[in-house]
Chains A and B, each alone.
Chain A
């Protein structure tokens, strides 16, 4: 067997349909070893890859099926998978050959035939497939059975009712008890896929089947292990002991080399812990989960990223898991930026009094790196650390002052933003640094930092000697400022006036600002607030003062922790996309089903109390629900799709467009997302969170 023998690069050239057709015809004679045909087919496959439409060659390529060369057969099959649906009217030409292969003596050929047929979900092929599939699900060869199991999922995707009527779901269930672990694993994968469909058959496990599946784990391939572990979420323990027994059998998988096995095992353990009672065992499981999670950080950067985003969730729910490990999350200079940002967030979460000094030293280090996002996040984290860990606050403030001293614009702006919150956390403690901040007013050119600085000036106008001068300067460009800054200016002007009611400057200033906001500004929020202040000041300035300068509740870091019920739910998606964006999948992926803890006598009372039921997106079911012949094409008429999606981005919901605009309804349902409000929970700290982009036009491609 030659290892590096391929010399096919030369075929990567654009070619013409007529030329290929001629070459195929020429290959019908004098082609003893079929090399000519092979060459043309390779050229055709290369052209498919390059995006050239080769479908006109359908009949010519199909002719090659008679060639007894497996390599040629596979290329023809690949061609069929690409163009079969497009050429549905000519597929009858190949059915004969498919059927022959389905009954070949060679199991590899039998499996290849049903696998390929099921990739071409057109009525003709499906019709021919159903009979064959029934045989193949009972084939004596495990390789054929494991392929057939997945074929059922494909059949179900193409025509759910046909698959149900044909009894294929029951046959899949039987395969759960197959003697071969690979077959079991694929049957589980297929059933899970079907069970996850909104119109699918419900797939649940009882204790007996769950146990049977766990036994198959010992002999499964790594991928099979993942499918089986994943399916355990469909088992709801009725007794604490059941949950504990299953967990003990899953723990072993934490030592698996495949990171997806590890994360899926962790998902199941976290899930089962909701149904446990044995404190000691739960502590043991938490201790067992920490080291494998840290080890994931020695994988490739992509897996590290997945791990880090999940760790961030896990430590919020089970702080015991990694509480002493902050050092392993320190950034390496050459970590990719996405790894660094994710680590930074975890460092903040794990920061406590005992490690605050080390963490702060690291953050200071990062604040002088190159990547602007990273630097900003580091600076913010220093401020958040001051807010979170009181004994470290002094050192953090000093660090921020040092950073402000660099006069690097974005560093100063970030520092100002967090310092505003620090003032609110520790009233009366750090106001001495205000003059330093005021010296850098000129560097603030972003709305958020400018607004923060203006808030500081207004709030402490009584301590800043030249507050009126500063405000006068700042309001100079009032009408050009963004709303955020205008709002801050308005409030600050009012505060200033309340502090210094006898100064002519402040009087003129507040008058000027109120006049602008009520007469020249179009923004209703701003105008309303302007009117409100104006009336308050006009009716009773003393009371107005009490209201405007009322004592504010001190800021805490409680707000930046996720709600327990929401976390419980999100952790059911450990390792998946949802866990990376920290969003329930049904809120950003069309057709995705939500997950929720299922109540049972074993569910621990607190989990039950905070249980978030599955957010039902009030969608009409997706296109696939239409029973009847023919494959449902997911694509819609382009015109219709385009308007539907444009509506969704910014316009208000159409009155009668519920059916026309599925996606719109989908994305307008943030109320069902328990984390929707989180973005704003703690200032703009989540601003650099990874998030799915709402460009749904893509789905039409």
Chain B
């Protein structure tokens, strides 16, 4: 199991270093620094040198690192690293060098608690917060009875929830967030279209509430069992550890005692009947060797009461592009030479993501693409002509967007029932969001090979010397 846990900053400085076993020395950190942090071409999240393996996960400007000397369960090690990040977020709001340095003593306390001898232990932030706090605690002041309550909870069957939660108003918010993965060929054939769904829940419920949750799903595996026509086929679903898996397995009910506050209740995947919210039609033409012209049309594919917001279209340009003249009717388009793309986005003067939990978002004046609307970008890239021919990798056109109150899979929350022994009334809200960020990709046509500017180092230096 895990022999050591480290956090490094971008420079390779050690911010946290904890050894759990005597088979490692602190200086092992130097090896990681040399092998990974100062290596510009790291090609694996796991590096094994001799019997020592380094697992690392990047978080902002940090490296979260676990070191093992045995045939460790790699999935467990990475899940633990992810969990550490989640806990740190929950404690400090963010996970970066500043947050780690500002809270290093607390982090040492936490990692002493959540790993013992390399074995991950209870790591539910909600429970941890009851006894590992940012405030100083006088040891005698924790009453023994109070502690017993904590320990019972930390080891109990609902170790993710405190027993004494109280709210004046009992509310539960459910967010269905779907990420659409699209890969479309230049000819418009869908190579891959599927949905990664997350159901996030924020439960502000008193006591120990028993929840039952229903969707319009039918598992593909058991097609024959149900035949409801509006049912959505989910390829797979995975649940937070609070959900009773045996009940789900036997009769498909999702029942659980939720953790207090925010958590991911469920993750699912759907590949059938995916409704693509945006249709993107690119035409890229090479004009001689010095110009490439683009016409990119984006059309929304949902009813006109809804709209796509935060739309950003990234159109890649050849590496030897000098300028692009952009024409758009909606939003703004700009050539970004550093990234070799034209970024076309809908200008929004204020944030759009916070909308009420009512059914249809109100129409505001923020530029957005309405349902049924079609917008077009056209432009021409000017290229420098060079003698050296090199392949341009032709990255795909990438579209980011958000559509509220729309699910690409067609999933709907049927019910959320809350039972608690005090029988209080609870209010439940549901919100839907379909989005894409870096996952909605349309390949560019043609098997084009562009000339690339071949920069010789010597020339570059002399050029700069002249300039300054």
Contacts and interface: CB of A to CB of B under 8 A. Distances in A.
Contact of B134 (A5, A218, A291, A373): A5
A501 interface: no
A115 B114 CA distance: 12
Given A8-B102, A298-B269, A260 B51 contact: no
B144 A106 contact: yes
Contacts, number: 367
B440 to A, nearest CB: 10
Given A181-B157, A577-B46, A9 B101 contact: yes
A402 B81 CA distance: 45
B244 to A, nearest CB: 8
Interface in B362-405: 391, 393-396, 398
A4 B239 CA distance: 29
Nearest to B122: A221
A338 B44 contact: yes
A291 B142 contact: no
Contact of B74 (A12, A108, A119, A576): A576
A43 B84 CA distance: 24
B438 interface: yes
Contacts of A143: 150-152, 154-155
B46 A580 contact: yes
B1 interface: yes
Contacts of B317: none
Contact of B43 (A221, A337, A590, A701): A337
Nearest to B264: A257
Find the residue from B55, B102, B267, B443 having the highest chain A CB count within 10 A: B102
Contacts of B119: 150, 186, 189, 223, 227
B199 to A, nearest CB: 11
Interface string B184-217: 0100000110101000000000000000000000
Interface in B7-53: 13-17, 19-31, 43-53
B57 A2 contact: no
B104 to A, nearest CB: 6
B6 to A, nearest CB: 9
Contacts of B47: 693
B131 A303 contact: no
Nearest to B13: A50
B360 interface: no
Interface in A369-405: 369-370, 373, 402
B103 A142 contact: no
Interface residues of B, number: 130
Given A291-B221, A575-B74, A219 B157 contact: yes
Interface in A598-614: none
Given A46-B104, A693-B49, A70 B76 contact: no
A441 B44 CA distance: 34
Given A183-B155, A227-B119, A592-B71, A330 B1 contact: no
B62 to A, nearest CB: 14
Contacts of A82: 19
B314 to A, nearest CB: 11
B134 A222 contact: no
B264 to A, nearest CB: 7
A286 to B, nearest CB: 11
Contacts of B243: 255
Contact of A255 (B52, B131, B183, B249): B249
Contact of B393 (A189, A368, A580, A634): A368
Contact of B73 (A183, A260, A635): A260
B22 A577 contact: no
A31 to B, nearest CB: 13
A407 B129 CA distance: 61
Interface in B125-160: 129, 131, 133-140, 142, 144, 147-148, 150-152, 154-157, 159
B93 interface: yes
Q: Interface range on chain A: under 10, 10 to 19, 20 to 34, or 35 or more?
A: 35 or more
Nearest to A293: B236
Interface string B78-116: 110110000000011110001101111110110010001
A647 B123 CA distance: 45
Contact of A107 (B19, B144, B183): B144
Nearest to A699: B50
B175 interface: no
B151 to A, nearest CB: 3
A592 B70 contact: yes
B331 interface: no
B32 to A, nearest CB: 11
A536 B109 CA distance: 77
A687 to B, nearest CB: 13
B43 to A, nearest CB: 5
B246 interface: yes
Find the residue from A294, A303, A575, A588 having the highest chain B CB count within 10 A: A303
B16 A142 contact: no
B166 interface: no
A294 B192 CA distance: 14
Interface string A621-636: 0000000000101110
A182 B159 CA distance: 10
Given A288-B221, A698-B52, A221 B241 contact: yes
Contact of A71 (B16, B79, B105, B269): B105
11 contacts: A3-B92, A42-B104, A42-B105, A45-B105, A109-B139, A141-B151, A143-B154, A260-B79, A291-B220, A327-B192, A699-B69
Interface of A: 1-9, 11-12, 38, 42, 45-46, 48-51, 68-71, 73-75, 78, 81-82, 85, 105-109, 111, 115, 118-119, 121, 141-144, 146-147, 150, 153-154, 157-158, 180-183, 186, 189, 193, 196, 218-219, 221-223, 225-227, 230, 251-253, 255-260, 262-264, 287-288, 291-292, 294-295, 298, 300-303, 305-307, 327-328, 330, 332-334, 336-338, 358, 361-362, 365, 368-370, 373, 402, 406, 408, 573, 575-581, 585, 588-592, 631, 633-635, 663, 690-699, 701
Which 3 A-B residue pairs are closest in the complex by CB-CB distance? Answer: A143-B151, A291-B236, A585-B71
Given A157-B22, A336-B45, A575-B75, 11 more contacts: A7-B102, A9-B102, A45-B105, A70-B139, A108-B150, A221-B124, A223-B121, A253-B245, A256-B241, A634-B22, A698-B31
Interface of B: 1, 13-17, 19-31, 43-53, 55, 57, 68-76, 78-79, 81-82, 91-94, 98-99, 101-106, 108-109, 112, 116-117, 119-124, 129, 131, 133-140, 142, 144, 147-148, 150-152, 154-157, 159, 181, 183, 185, 191-192, 194, 196, 220-221, 235-241, 243-246, 248-249, 264, 266-269, 271, 391, 393-396, 398, 438-439, 441, 443, 447, 449
